[in-house]
Amino acid sequence: MTTLFIADLHLDDARPDITALFERFLASDEARSASAFYILGDLVEAWIGDDDDAELPRRIAQATRGLREAGVPVYFMVGNRDFLLGNDFADRAGMTLLDDGTVHTIEGVPTLLMHGDVLCTDDAEYQAVRAQVRTDAWKQQILSMPLEARRAFAAKARSDSKSRTGRIDETIMDVNQGAVEAAMRGAGVTRLVHGHTHRPAVHDFALDGAPAQRIVLGDWYDHGSVLRIDGESTGLRGLTLS
């Protein structure tokens, strides 16, 4: 059997070809024959609440529900762009929400699943902001705003970020190896899968003398990226647009 992972699609009305690629991949024979399908955060560029009545959330829910109805469990973990996504949308979309840092046995191997941002401990400024916006009080304050105000807030955050970096995607610091090892040791695993850093790779290293592996998912800014784990092998590959 095969398990599939994606993350960091950053779906956005500005990149309709990537949304179409996501829909095609979820409808593909490869996805529909998987034993499970994981989305490890930052599925969208910005999530303003489960009550958003825009077209994009509707299309996402239709795609993931289709996969679920084909018999494939679909798991979702929030990232830093879509941490306001909650149970209402997950139910509509046929997805099971996972906490960051969940361990699932993937094709026989206990595997720690994370979005990846909490591992970037060298970025103190980011971690401070993260701690602030993940409180229930902050989330409630945002979600209690009218939809239009939330849309304007998200658009402003995006244009601020774009003018700062000169690109649509942000510059993200890499993970801290000590934080990686502490998380894996704490979870009692020798395999970790995460996204967030947009640095797709399979890193083999020694954890307390034992062989360990950290697999980093790729982003979907210019093309798709998917991780396939089966009993024999792991494969990380790009998906082309056409």
Residues that bind Mn ion (CB under 5 A): 42, 79-80, 196
Task: Choose between 79 and 218: whose C-beta lies nearer to Mn ion.
Answer: 79
By CB atoms closer than 10 A (0-12, 13-18, 19+), residue 23 is middle
79, 46 contact by CB (below 8 A): no
For 208, phi and psi rounded to 5 degrees? Answer: 50, 40
The nearest distance, CB 1 to Mn ion, in angstroms, is: 28
Q: How far is the CB of 42 from Mn ion (least distance, A)?
A: 4
Query: Which of 105, 78, 31, 89 lies closest to 56, judged by CA?
Result: 89
What's the closest the beta carbon of residue 233 comes to Mn ion, in angstroms? 27
Cross-strand pairs, 36? 3
d(CA 94, CA 211): 36
Q: How far is the CB of 80 from Mn ion (least distance, A)?
A: 4
State which residue, 196 or 214, has the beta carbon closest to Mn ion: 196
Comparing CB distances to Mn ion, the nearer of 57 and 79 is: 79
Residue 191 or 196: the one with the smaller Cβ distance to Mn ion is 196
Task: Compute the distance between CA of residue 102 and CA of residue 95 in angstroms, rounded to an integer.
Answer: 15
Nearer to Mn ion, 79 or 94 (CB): 79
* 80 vs 213 by CB, closer to Mn ion: 80
Residue closer to Mn ion, measured from CB, 80 or 234: 80
Cα–Cα distance for residue pair 56/23, rounded to 1 Å: 11
Residue 32 CB, nearest approach to Mn ion (Å): 27
> What 3-state class would DSSP assign to 203?
strand
**Closest distance between Mn ion and the C-beta of residue 155, in Å?**
19
- For the four alpha carbons of 36, 42, 44 and 50, in that order, the dihedral sign comes to positive
Cα atoms found within 13 Å of the Cα of residue 161, Cβ hemisphere only: 14
Torsion over CA: 91, 92, 96, 100 (sign): negative
- Residue of this chain nearest to Mn ion (CB atom): 196
**Considering the complex, what minimum distance in angstroms separates the CB of residue 116 from Mn ion?**
7
Using DSSP, state whether 25 is helix, strand or coil. Answer: helix
